[in-house]
Amino acid sequence: MIQAVFMLGGLGLIIGIVLAAASRIFYVYVDPKVEAVDEALPGANCGGCGLPGCSANAEAIVAGKAAPNSCVAGGEDLAASIAAILGVSLEAKEPDIAKPGCYYSVEKAETLFNYDGIQDCRAAHLMSGGMKLCDIGCLGLGTCVRACPFDALIMGKDGLPVVDQDKCTGCGTCERVCPKHIIKLSSVTRRILREYTVDDCTTPCQRACPAGINIREYIHQIAIGNCFEAVQVIKERNPFPSTVGRICPHPCETDCRRNLQDTSVAINGLKRFAADFEQTSGKRIQPFKAPATNRTIAVIGGGISGLSSAFFLARLGHSPTIYEATTQLGGILRKAIAKERLPLDILDWDIDGILEMGVKAEYEQVCGKDFTIPSLLDQGYAAVCLTTGGWDSRLARNADQSIEQQVPGMFLLIDALKVNVEGTVPVSGHCVIMASGNMAVKASEILLNKGAKRITIMMQQNIASSGINKDQLAQAKDKGIHIIFQAAVQRFRGEGNTLKQIDYLNMDTGATETLDANTLFVSYGRFPELIFTSVISENDEKTGEWEAIAPYKKPAQFNEKGLFSENDEKTDYNAAIRAIAGGRRTAASVHHVIYGNKIALEEDVLKPESDIQDVSQLTQVDKKPRQIMPIRTPQELAVKNELEQGFTPEMAKHEADRCLQCGLVCYERDLALELPKAA
């Protein structure tokens, strides 16, 4: 008996020693903050944060990989509690809402075959893409509804998902389970930042519009008598509806699907009608804004591009201030457009709307004279945008005979070559010319005579397409002129009012290289649009240094690299609507930069050469005559100096009804059409 007790006691001792050793070997340290955050989270494990469960989200929050308000199932109180645990401040988060992007249900669509398999969209999608002729259209089997953890989705009477915005938490579950990607998370910020992709249901007119306005929707709102809603849709992508409604070259009408039957819809005339309705009503209609971020942004230049940048920055929740060299905003449009086409009170109405969005303006402030970019950064601006336009803008403000230095160490080459003007461009040390063509070699020789010690020419082209032959290349080398071919300039670095370095992509090797420089001369008709930020040390303090990059390029230039690539603007934008689109891209780029996000387009971004569905003929569509914009008589022009009168409400209704309300391949038909029904 005693022997047994000792045996059991010894065995227990051995087990205790083994367990003690194991506890040391396999001990896992749990961060108290992770534990505290995990306990604060609701334990819903809905996956809305994008991570597998609340414990994973807690670890990501403490590690700084997720925000304190990343839990979509919790509210503001939960986010504030987590922020308190971490000892950080909390920035207001804009709510995401699921938004379906399909307009035609299976019941309305032409079908390829009947589907009798598992009633799940993902299963149907595996069978040649599903039931619909449209590659990306809703399959209508309700998988998103069944997957929603918050009962925020139902299938509507038309066979398309309907979102209950009061219940939707923006968890993204529906987006993840939809095989056609027709239901996606939406918010003001998301709509401003994203470019259209190949799996978006875009219409031909929308794809042709440089600003990407949802033309189908605003015409639909006009057709049903909701002009205020139409204005709000337009201002999602265009803060100048009254102005653009008068002067736009309307490439959208060229691609209007109605051209396959008779004549395009008067898209631009309808835009003007909605904008005029707003102005006549005296009620300003503004698009939605994201919560305030308390970040200030400086925008240099109050033309269409600068105003658009500021407008979209304000909608993203930032506080932009425009620095304008003249006494009025509007840029070249004040001088270049005939007043009978664009009365200045119309332009001012749109500009006032932008200022009412929360945009400030400082007038008679010339960059390089009254302030510098580094001085703005020293004032606490999170970023500075350069949107001063090109040579035409300089002519419009009578600055063609002056020499300007808007960017530290950067000049237009034409300024360096001027004679008989006040002031001179400092030419010394290492001078770099960003140029194309063999005229850059001639300019280099002039700069050498003016005192440059060393000249480097940076060209986007290769030797074969540069226009420089071997003899000219050898002569340039003998004179100390170095030419770098296939150089795509990516970034500038400097300190105070001094330029120090230029980063460029060697397109031959794919490597990023750095070139030390004192002065940069741009051989084009404009300073590039740039975004400047302060360089911050590891101690979160400003170093006095700055860097500058360009906004991302439009999708049509997806594969182009560097400043002044083949299709970049070499002077002013050739249409206001393109400047507006450029302004939105600048604002989106600034937003990414100040939050440390990568500026890049998605691989499936929609480009002109993208392979997407379309139709080549219309069926069951009656011909309807287009409404012609009425013109004022000479007597009427004496009273109101605007040539075109605009549509009457009756004309606008008739024209809006001509719109086919297209999708990729679907459109509204005039006559009843019996379609095979899906099983």
Using DSSP's 3-state secondary structure scheme, residue 188 falls into helix
Give the CB-side neighbour count of residue 49, counting CA atoms within 13 A: 26
Give the separation between CA 550 and CA 427, rounded to whole angstroms. 25
- Tell me: do 178 and 261 sit in the same domain: no
Token couple for 172: 């993204």
Query: What is the 3-class SS of 505-569, one letter each residue?
Result: EECCCCEEEEEECCEEEECCCECCCEEEEEEECCCCCEEEEEEEECCCCCHHHCCCCCCCCCCCC
pTM exceeds 0.85: yes
pLDDT on residue 30:
66
Give the separation between CA 585 and CA 605, rounded to whole angstroms. 14
Indicate the range of 58-62, 159-163, 663-667 predicted with least confidence: 58-62
Q: Which residues contact 540 (CB under 8 A, 6 or more apart)?
A: none
Residue 328 lies in a domain: no
Residue 644 burial class via C-beta count within 10 angstroms: exposed 0-12, middle 13-18, buried 19 and up: middle
pLDDT on residue 265:
98
Token couple for 67: 């925000």
Indicate the range of 39-53, 274-288, 399-413 predicted with least confidence: 39-53
Number of domains, the chain: 5
Amino acid at 78: L
Beta strands in 369-426 (DSSP E): 383-386, 410-412
Residue 601 lies in a domain: no
Give the separation between CA 164 and CA 147, rounded to whole angstroms. 15
Does 584 score more than 90 pLDDT? yes
Q: What is the mean pLDDT of residues 3-22?
A: 62
Domain with 629 in it: 213-285+616-656
Which CATH number is 246's domain given?
Answer: 1.10.1060.10
* pLDDT tens-place string over residues 301-329: 999 999 999 999 999 999 999 999 999 99
pLDDT on residue 27:
57
pLDDT on residue 421:
59
Q: Quick check: 522 and 412 in contact, CB under 8 A? A: yes
| Greatest mean pLDDT among 5-14, 511-520, 632-641 | 511-520
Token couple for 273: 């009608």
- Tell me: do 51 and 117 sit in the same domain: no
- Tell me: do 43 and 19 sit in the same domain: no
Rg (CA), the chain: 30
pLDDT on residue 359:
98
pLDDT on residue 212:
96
- Tell me: do 447 and 520 sit in the same domain: yes
Residue 480 lies in a domain: yes
Which CATH number is 85's domain given?
Answer: 1.10.15.40
- Tell me: do 417 and 522 sit in the same domain: yes
- Tell me: do 54 and 153 sit in the same domain: no
Which CATH number is 149's domain given?
Answer: 3.30.70.20
- Tell me: do 115 and 187 sit in the same domain: yes
Residue 402 lies in a domain: no
Strands 183-186 and 161-163: unpaired
Which residues sit opposite 532 in a β-bridge? 384, 548
* pLDDT tens-place string over residues 598-610: 888 888 999 988 9
List alpha helices for 507-551, DSSP H.
none
pLDDT on residue 425:
81
Q: Could you tell me what percent of the chain has a pLDDT over 90? A: 56
Does 537 score more than 90 pLDDT? no
Sign of torsion, CA 557 559 560 566? Answer: negative
Give the separation between CA 40 and CA 34, rounded to whole angstroms. 10
Token couple for 39: 């306990």
Indicate the range of 49-53, 206-210, 515-519 predicted with least confidence: 49-53
Q: DSSP for 271-307?
A: HHHHHHHHHHHT-------PPP---EEEEE--SHHHH
- Tell me: do 124 and 220 sit in the same domain: no
Residue 497 lies in a domain: yes
DSSP 535: E
Does 674 score more than 60 pLDDT? no
- Tell me: do 413 and 474 sit in the same domain: yes
Amino acid at 539: N
- Tell me: do 104 and 136 sit in the same domain: yes
Token couple for 518: 């004192």
Give the closest residue to 188 by CA, choosing from 356, 313, 68, 307.
Answer: 313
Q: What is Dmax (Cα atoms) for the chain?
A: 126
Q: Quick check: 523 and 431 in contact, CB under 8 A? A: no
Give the separation between CA 87 and CA 417, rounded to whole angstroms. 57
Using DSSP's 3-state secondary structure scheme, residue 192 falls into helix
Give the closest residue to 386 by CA, choosing from 583, 591, 594, 598.
Answer: 583
Does 69 score more than 80 pLDDT? no
pLDDT on residue 678:
47
Give the separation between CA 615 and CA 257, rounded to whole angstroms. 8
Residue 611 lies in a domain: no
Q: Quick check: 199 and 175 in contact, CB under 8 A? A: no
- Tell me: do 151 and 47 sit in the same domain: no
pLDDT interval class at 32 (50, 70, 90): confident
Using DSSP's 3-state secondary structure scheme, residue 71 falls into coil
Residue with tokens 């509806």: 241
- Tell me: do 224 and 114 sit in the same domain: no
Residue 275 lies in a domain: yes
Residue 208 lies in a domain: no
Does 418 score more than 60 pLDDT? yes
Q: Could you tell me what percent of the chain has a pLDDT over 70? A: 89
Give the CB-side neighbour count of residue 86, counting CA atoms within 13 A: 24
Q: What is the mean pLDDT of residues 368-396?
A: 91
Q: What is the mean pLDDT of the chain?
A: 87
Residue 360 burial class via C-beta count within 10 angstroms: exposed 0-12, middle 13-18, buried 19 and up: middle
Give the separation between CA 403 and CA 382, rounded to whole angstroms. 28
Token couple for 249: 């070259």
Considering 479, 506, 526, which residue would you say is the last residue of a domain? 526
Does 679 score more than 50 pLDDT? no
Give the CB-side neighbour count of residue 255, counting CA atoms within 13 A: 19
Give the separation between CA 324 and CA 526, rounded to whole angstroms. 16
pLDDT on residue 217:
97
Q: 616: how many CB neighbours lie within 10 A of its CB?
A: 5
